Amino acid sequence: MSVNYKQLLLFDCDGGRASLFDDKTILSEIPSNCDCYLFWNDNDSNLSNKINYLKSYRQIHLYPVLESNSKNATDGKLIYFLGKLVDKYSFIIIIHGGDGIYKEIIRTVSEEYGNDRISNEIFTNPTPRNLRELLRQFRQRNQEYGYIEKHSSNNEHEDNLIDKSKNRCLLCWKFCNNFEDFYQHFRDKHHLRIKLICNCKLEFDHLLEFHNHQRKEQSNAFSNKGVAQCLAANQPTKVYLDPHPLILLISAGKTNKCIYCKNKDRSLDPIALISHLTAKHMLYNDIRFQCCSDTKRTLDRFQNHTSTQHKIVDIKKHNI
C-alpha cells in the first residue's frame, strides 16, 4: 500500500476553463490525496466571482494573477508553482488551452523525473464532465498504486453556505444584504431547508419562529425565570435599587422578597416583585441593571440593550 502517493491538478482557468467547476456536486469526488491549484487573470471580475466560491474547499487552492497587462502572466504563475510542488507529488496533470510552452515543460519534467510524473490535458470548451473524467482517472491511478481512499469531506466547513467576508453565497456567489435575504435565497434558489442561528445560540427552522422569539425577548426584561441575560456578559446581571447600596438578588419562581416590606414571609416571582416595587415603593425609575460593563442602566435602557442582542448571526443547512 502506498500511503504517500499524492496527485496534483494545475488549472489554467482563463479561456473559459473555469466552467469545469460549474457543477459543485462533482467536487465531492476529489480523491483525498489530490490537490487542485487554480490560476487565472484577476482582471476578469466575472471570472473571479465564478471561482472565488471554491475557496471553502480544503483541497482547492486559488491563485489569481494580479498583472492584468501581461498575456502570459497566468502561465508564468502556474509554472512557478509547478517548480515548487513537483517534488511533493507523485503525479501531476496540467490543464491548459494549448499554449506551446507546456510542451517544453512536460518534456523537461519527464526527462528529470520520468515519463510517469507529469501529463497535460488541452481543453478549449470544457464542461464539468471533463472534470469528472479527470477525477475518475485519478481514482484509477490510486488503485494501480495501492492507495486506499480516505472517506472524509473535501469541504472544510461542510455546512458553511456563506462567504461572510463578502456576503456571498458559496453555491452560486450571489450577493445578499443580510441573513434573512440569504435564508430566502437558499430556499428559493437552491431548495434547501435552512436553520437560522440567533446570537443566543438558539436555532430556528423558520423565519417566523425567529421573529416570534425576537419579539418575546423585546417584550420584557423579566420573566418568571429571572432577569434577562445580557449576551455580552460573562456573569448574571446585577440589579440595584438606588440609592440602596445592596444588590437585589432576583431568582426564578416565587423565591424573591421585598427588602422594604416588613412582611418577610411573602415571596414573589420576578415579574410580581418588580410590579410590587413600582406600585408600592415607586421605585421604577430607581431600578438599575449592571451587566457587561460598569454602566448601570435604567429598566427601559436595559430592556433595549438586551433585546437588540437577539439577531441572526449565522445560518446552516438543515440536516434532515
User: C-alpha cell of 55?
Assistant: 475557496
The verdict on residue 157 lying in a domain is no
Q: Return the SS3 of 316.
A: strand
pLDDT at 285 over 60: no
Say yes or no: 89 and 169 in one domain: no
Instruction: Please count the other Cβ atoms lying within 10 Å of the Cβ belonging to residue 276.
Output: 17
User: C-alpha cell of 250?
Assistant: 432576583
Say yes or no: 112 and 203 in one domain: no
- Secondary structure letter of residue 150 according to DSSP: P
Split into its structural domains, the chain has a count of 3
Q: What is the pLDDT of residues 168-219, one digit of tens each?
A: 887 777 889 999 999 999 888 888 888 999 988 889 999 999 988 888 776 6
Instruction: Please count the other Cβ atoms lying within 10 Å of the Cβ belonging to residue 239.
Output: 24
When the pLDDT of each residue in the chain is averaged and rounded to a whole number, the result is: 83
Q: Can you list the alpha helix ranges (DSSP code H) found in the chain?
A: 45-52, 73-85, 101-113, 128-144, 179-188, 207-219, 270-281, 299-307
CA distance 102 to 72: 12
DSSP 211-248: HHHHHHHHH-SEETTEEPPPTT-SSPPEEEETT--SEE
Looking at per-residue pLDDT, the higher value among 271 and 71 belongs to 271
Full residue range of the structural domain in which residue 288 is found: 221-302
CA distance 101 to 2: 33
What pLDDT is stored for residue 301 in this prediction?
A: 85
Rg (CA), the chain: 30
Say yes or no: 192 and 260 in one domain: no
Q: What is the pLDDT of residues 26-46, one digit of tens each?
A: 888 888 899 999 999 888 788
Say yes or no: 138 and 19 in one domain: yes
CA distance 81 to 242: 68
Say yes or no: 36 and 140 in one domain: yes
Q: Return the SS3 of 22.
A: coil
Q: What is the pLDDT of residues 116-160, one digit of tens each?
A: 999 999 998 899 999 999 999 998 998 888 887 665 444 444 457
CA distance 112 to 183: 53
CA distance 268 to 280: 14
Say yes or no: 269 and 296 in one domain: yes
Say yes or no: 69 and 179 in one domain: no
Assess contact for 30 and 21: CB atoms under 8 A. no
What pLDDT is stored for residue 279 in this prediction?
A: 80
Which helix (H) or strand (E) segment is 71 a member of? none
pLDDT (mean) for 52-70: 80
pLDDT (mean) for 228-244: 77
